[in-house]
């Protein structure tokens, strides 16, 4: 286990491992991003990335086939793209279409290209495509009445790679599913799922390719809802199920699926990270807690 | 985003407690509009509706013009909350919002006890059926809206004049504060049945008062005098001097709202036509929003969506806008290459933008915890204790092998 204390001069909002589990990126209210090398129980600070003018809320590693690339988003309304070449990190691109805090970023499945989903307090989402020649193509759309807190991509459909979906969660308490419409060249609302009674803080679409889609939504209302739908069914409705019947002790800030998609980690405002698994009867059971 | 909508009415207003809140607005008393009309209306708007002609959801005429409006949280009896109106004709009107919106009914209950116009109405934040009301001549009543009964808060320390500002303590339900034209702010204890404290500050007229969102001994007052337009923060444990003096308004301050989700944010507005955002804890001005064409008599956060607030001006305007604005400055938006382009563009661009002294991220965006999976059953965890965050990388036993096969597939 690696433990890093006092890494930043402010609250840390996100920490993400790269594809190989060798690099850890952290970001903070101190406006900086730090890159650590982690190996066994040891860690080493590689670089501190400065460029944002506000707290940095999230970081996200691009698929390695695009290079060693990290995206970051901030209260300053900007998304910055960073690249490591040799041992040096530099800012290679900026995406600033939002008029308020950018709260989450998520790289699309690499099959789609270098596409980054950004969600903002201005109620909009944007998908920016970084093309090989250095140019950017951007799609922006109004997603929630206000405040989009999180968004992630559906796993790619092996048979139908052009069918792209996104899930978002907002301050209107809704979880929304969006489908890319190639004709209109934008994302159209497929579903608005109501169930939470307060802000949706995070949404996570399970990366596993099973017969069902799984989405976890974590909320300020101290609940987590698992939304499921049969993959084949076009018209089928999303089913909702509370992850746990009573409320969590505190705000549910974050939901994250393991890479194989069968374990869900929920981070609560009480600093507890609980792990959850679906049993054979389709019920969700707590499968332990990440040690303090 | 920034400006969400404008409501063209000179009005007292109140936000609902919905996730996407509505605004109730009642024709403001004490001002004449350009038609010299004495008609009074209560209107309910959906400020998030994009189409101008669909924004008005409900409208009814009222017996008199409005000095103030308060909207309770939803209760078992009132699923959309209860709306209380302090009227110029000495009455309080209570409206069941659910019935207004559903049946378009205009039924209301009248509470008549004041002998002068009802200047302020406020619901108790801890007991939604309790309402405080105030008027001129020092009249203050506390109502049980379920029963329609009322009582007075008890003995005053000295004669009270016009009471134009009321605020309930947010954590102790039997304490409230009042202020008006007497110069001082009063703290009342309904259990002791009397005024228990008075706050004064070197001759400044403390005419607006609002409590800290969670700490029961802290409150903020503002001066309604053009000579010394300051905002003062107080801790009652040392009530002889204010903790912070916030200077920035150029004329009398008419309204204060301390954000319930983040005590480091306070809104104020006044006779200098300005709306300002402060950090009252550190005593810093954070931002000044575009000024309106007349006195801004009220500014209020949307209670469950504090990214949004509304400011009402005597110039037939309620502006609903967002706290933050990261859009580029006007000069870069209209930087056309030739002169004609410039004038074409500037005429169609909103050139008014807030001026930020300091960008301070609100507390509700500041996530203190996080856990995200990586490959190989590893998870990166952020935990925060006493404002210090620690990062850990932990391997979840049993996940390693499943994950490596998943990774082989993904590669």
Q: A15 at the B interface (CB within 8 A)?
A: yes
Query: Final residue of a domain: which of A96, A130, A152?
Result: A96
pLDDT at A291: 75
**Average pLDDT for B59-81:** 95
pLDDT at B33: 66
Which of B308, B328, B361 has the CB atom closest to A54's CB atom? B361
Grade residue A261 by pLDDT with cuts at 50, 70 and 90: confident
Which of B370, B380, B399 has the CB atom closest to A13's CB atom? B370
**Average pLDDT for B165-187:** 96
Query: Final residue of a domain: which of A68, A96, A124?
Result: A96
Are A121 and A129 spatial neighbours (Cβ–Cβ below 8 Å)? no
Å from B359 to nearest chain A CA?
A: 7
Grade residue B407 by pLDDT with cuts at 50, 70 and 90: low
Sign of CA dihedral A227, A229, A231, A234: negative
pLDDT at B1: 44
Grade residue B285 by pLDDT with cuts at 50, 70 and 90: very high
CATH number, domain with residue A211: 2.130.10.10
Q: Is residue A101 part of a domain?
A: no
Q: Is residue A281 part of a domain?
A: yes
Three-state secondary structure of A55-71: CEEEEEECCHHHCCEEE
Closest residue, chain B, to A111 (C-alpha): B410
pLDDT at B353: 86
Which of A24, A145, A258 has the CB atom closest to B380's CB atom? A24
Q: Is residue A106 part of a domain?
A: no
List A residues 48-107 in contact with B (Cβ-Cβ < 8 A).
Answer: 53-55, 57, 75-78, 96, 98-101, 103
Å from A85 to nearest chain B CA?
A: 22
Task: Indicate yes or no: CB of A17 within 8 angstroms of CB of B324.
Answer: no
Q: Are residues A56 and A182 in the same domain?
A: no
pLDDT digits (tens, 9 = 90+) for B233-277: 999 999 999 999 999 999 999 999 999 999 999 999 999 999 999
Of residues A160 and B348, more confidence is placed in A160
Grade residue B165 by pLDDT with cuts at 50, 70 and 90: very high
Å from A211 to nearest chain B CA?
A: 16
Q: Are residues A201 and A272 in the same domain?
A: yes
Ranking A66-75, A220-229, B151-160, B382-391 by mean pLDDT, the lowest is B151-160
Give the CA distances from residue B363 to residues A23, A55, B96, B306, in Å, rounded to whole numbers and listed in that order: 29, 11, 33, 11
**Average pLDDT for A11-24:** 96
Q: Are residues A172 and A63 in the same domain?
A: no
Give the CA distances from residue B251 to residues A27, A75, B367, B385, in Å, rounded to whole numbers and listed in that order: 42, 32, 38, 43
Are A43 and A6 spatial neighbours (Cβ–Cβ below 8 Å)? no
Give the CA distances from residue A87 to residues A31, A35, A36, A46, A84, in Å, rounded to whole numbers and listed in that order: 22, 11, 12, 8, 6
Q: Are residues A82 and A151 in the same domain?
A: no
pLDDT at A86: 84
List A residues 233-252 in contact with B (Cβ-Cβ < 8 A).
Answer: none
pLDDT at A107: 98
Chain A residues touching residue B393 (CB < 8 angstroms)? 1-2, 17, 24, 38
Grade residue B403 by pLDDT with cuts at 50, 70 and 90: low
Report the predicted TM-score, pTM, of the whole model to 2 decimal places: 0.93
Q: Are residues A91 and A164 in the same domain?
A: no
Counted across chains A and B, CB pairs separated by less than 8 A come out at 207
Has residue B359 got a pLDDT over 80? yes
Task: Indicate yes or no: CB of B372 within 8 angstroms of CB of A173.
Answer: no
Has residue B348 got a pLDDT over 70? no
Range of the domain at A75: 1-96
Q: Are residues A162 and A281 in the same domain?
A: yes
Q: B376 at the A interface (CB within 8 A)?
A: yes
Has residue A101 got a pLDDT over 90? yes
Q: Is residue A276 part of a domain?
A: yes
Task: Indicate yes or no: CB of A259 within 8 angstroms of CB of B410.
Answer: yes
pLDDT digits (tens, 9 = 90+) for B93-116: 999 999 999 887 777 899 999 999
Q: Are residues A160 and A74 in the same domain?
A: no
**Average pLDDT for A114-123:** 97
**Average pLDDT for A131-140:** 92
Ranking A84-88, B34-38, B156-160, B243-247 by mean pLDDT, the lowest is B34-38
pLDDT at A123: 95
Q: Are residues A241 and A154 in the same domain?
A: yes
Q: Is residue A13 part of a domain?
A: yes
Q: A273 at the B interface (CB within 8 A)?
A: yes
**Average pLDDT for A109-118:** 95
Mean of the per-residue pLDDT values of chain B: 91
Task: Indicate yes or no: CB of B375 within 8 angstroms of CB of A98.
Answer: no
Q: B383 at the A interface (CB within 8 A)?
A: yes
Chain A residues touching residue B1 (CB < 8 angstroms)? 99-100, 122-123, 146
Ranking A92-101, A203-212, A241-250, B237-246 by mean pLDDT, the lowest is A203-212
**Average pLDDT for A271-285:** 94
Which of B20, B361, B392 has the CB atom closest to A55's CB atom? B361
Question: What percent of chain A has pLDDT above 90?
Answer: 86
Q: Are residues A84 and A189 in the same domain?
A: no
Task: Indicate yes or no: CB of A24 within 8 angstroms of CB of B368.
Answer: no
Query: What gap in Å lies between CA B117 and CA B133, rounded to an integer?
Result: 10
Q: What is the DSSP letter of B111?
A: E
Q: Which residues of B128-165 are buried (b: 16+ CB within 10 A; e: fewer)?
A: bbbbbbbbbebbbbbbebeeeebeebbebeeebebbbb
Backbone angles phi, psi at A13, to 5 degrees: -105, -20
Task: Indicate yes or no: CB of A259 within 8 angstroms of CB of B20.
Answer: no
Q: Are residues A157 and A245 in the same domain?
A: yes
For chain A, the domain total comes to 2
Mutation target among A22, A120, A258 for the B interface, most CBs of B within 10 A? A258
Of residues B344 and A48, more confidence is placed in A48
Backbone angles phi, psi at A219, to 5 degrees: -135, 160
Angle at B356 between CA B353 and CA B359, to 5 degrees: 130
Ranking B77-91, B221-235, B393-407 by mean pLDDT, the lowest is B393-407
Q: Are residues A90 and A193 in the same domain?
A: no
Q: What's the gap between Cα B206 and its chain centre?
A: 19
Query: Final residue of a domain: which of A96, A111, A127?
Result: A96
Task: Indicate yes or no: CB of A99 within 8 angstroms of CB of B376.
Answer: no
Q: A109 at the B interface (CB within 8 A)?
A: no
Which of A26, A98, A208 has the CB atom closest to B326's CB atom? A98
Mean of the per-residue pLDDT values of chain A: 94
Grade residue B337 by pLDDT with cuts at 50, 70 and 90: low
Has residue B410 got a pLDDT over 60? no
Q: Is residue A187 part of a domain?
A: yes
Q: Is residue A89 part of a domain?
A: yes
Q: Are residues A82 and A184 in the same domain?
A: no
pLDDT at B271: 96
Q: Is residue A224 part of a domain?
A: yes
Task: Indicate yes or no: CB of A257 within 8 angstroms of CB of B324.
Answer: no
């Amino acid at each position: 286990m690696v433990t890093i204390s006092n890494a930043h001069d402010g609250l840390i909002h996100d920490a993400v491992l790269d594809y190989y589990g060798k690099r850890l990126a952290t970001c903070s209210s101190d406006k900086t991003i730090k890159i650590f090398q982690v190996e066994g129980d040891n860690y080493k600070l590689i670089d501190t990335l400065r460029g944002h003018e506000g707290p940095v809320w999230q970081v996200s590693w691009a698929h390695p086939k695009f290079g060693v690339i990290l995206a970051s988003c901030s209260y300053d309304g900007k998304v910055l793209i960073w690249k490591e070449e040799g041992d040096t990190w530099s800012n290679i691109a900026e995406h600033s279409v939002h008029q308020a805090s950018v709260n989450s970023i998520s790289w699309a499945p690499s099959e789609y290209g270098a596409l980054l989903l950004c969600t903002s307090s201005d109620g909009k989402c944007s998908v920016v495509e970084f093309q090989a020649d250095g140019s950017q193509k951007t799609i922006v759309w109004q997603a929630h009445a206000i405040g989009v807190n999180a968004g992630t991509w559906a796993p790619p459909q092996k048979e139908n790679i052009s069918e792209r979906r996104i899930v978002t969660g907002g301050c209107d308490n809704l979880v929304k599913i969006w489908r890319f419409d190639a004709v209109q060249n934008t994302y159209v609302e497929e579903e608005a799922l109501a169930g939470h009674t307060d802000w949706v803080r995070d949404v996570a679409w399970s990366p596993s390719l099973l017969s069902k889609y799984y989405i976890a939504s974590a909320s300020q209302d101290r609940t987590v809802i698992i939304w499921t739908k049969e993959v084949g069914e076009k018209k089928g409705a999303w089913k909702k199920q509370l992850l746990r019947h009573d409320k969590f002790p505190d705000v549910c800030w974050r939901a994250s699926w393991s890479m194989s998609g069968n374990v869900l980690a929920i981070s609560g405002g009480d600093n507890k990270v609980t792990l959850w698994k679906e049993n054979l009867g389709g019920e969700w059971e707590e499968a332990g807690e990440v040690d303090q | 985003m920034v400006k969400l909508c404008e409501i063209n009415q000179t009005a007292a207003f109140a936000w609902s407690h919905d996730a996407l809140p509505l605004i109730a607005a009642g024709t403001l008393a004490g001002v004449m509009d350009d038609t010299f009309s004495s008609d009074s209306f209560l209107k309910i708007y959906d400020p998030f509706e994009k189409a101008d002609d669909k924004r008005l959801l409900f409208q009814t005429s009222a017996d008199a013009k409005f000095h103030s409006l308060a909207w309770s949280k939803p209760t078992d009896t009132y699923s959309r909350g209860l709306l209380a109106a302090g009227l110029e004709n000495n009455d309080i009107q209570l409206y069941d919002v659910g019935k207004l919106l559903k049946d378009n009914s205009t039924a209301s209950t009248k509470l008549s006890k004041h002998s002068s116009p009802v200047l302020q109405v406020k619901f108790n934040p801890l007991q939604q059926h309790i309402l405080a009301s105030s008027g001129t001549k020092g009249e203050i009543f506390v109502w049980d809206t379920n029963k329609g009964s009322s009582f007075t808060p008890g003995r005053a320390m000295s004669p009270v004049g016009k009471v134009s500002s009321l605020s309930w303590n947010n954590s102790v339900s039997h304490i409230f504060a009042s202020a008006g034209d007497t110069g001082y702010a009063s703290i009342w204890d309904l259990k002791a049945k009397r005024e228990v404290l008075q706050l004064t500050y070197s001759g400044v007229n403390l005419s607006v008062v609002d409590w800290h969102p969670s700490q029961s001994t802290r409150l903020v007052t503002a001066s309604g005098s053009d000579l010394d337009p300051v905002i003062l923060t107080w801790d009652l444990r040392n009530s002889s001097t204010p903790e912070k003096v916030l200077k920035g308004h150029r004329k009398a301050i008419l309204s204060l709202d301390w954000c319930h989700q983040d005590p480091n944010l306070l809104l104020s507005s006044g006779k200098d036509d300005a709306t300002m955002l402060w950090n009252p804890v550190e005593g810093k001005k954070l931002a000044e929003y575009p000024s309106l064409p007349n006195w801004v008599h009220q500014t209020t956060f949307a209670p469950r969506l504090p990214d949004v607030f509304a400011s009402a001006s005597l110039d037939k305007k309620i502006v609903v806008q967002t706290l933050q604005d990261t859009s580029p400055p006007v000069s870069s938006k209209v930087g056309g290459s030739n002169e004609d382009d410039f004038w074409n563009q500037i005429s169609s661009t909103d050139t008014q933008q807030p001026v930020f002294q300091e960008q301070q991220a609100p507390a509700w965006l500041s996530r203190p915890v996080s856990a995200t999976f990586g490959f190989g059953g590893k998870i990166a965890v952020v935990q925060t204790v006493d404002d210090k965050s620690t990062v850990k990388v932990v391997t979840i036993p049993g996940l390693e092998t499943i994950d490596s096969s998943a990774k082989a597939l993904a590669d």
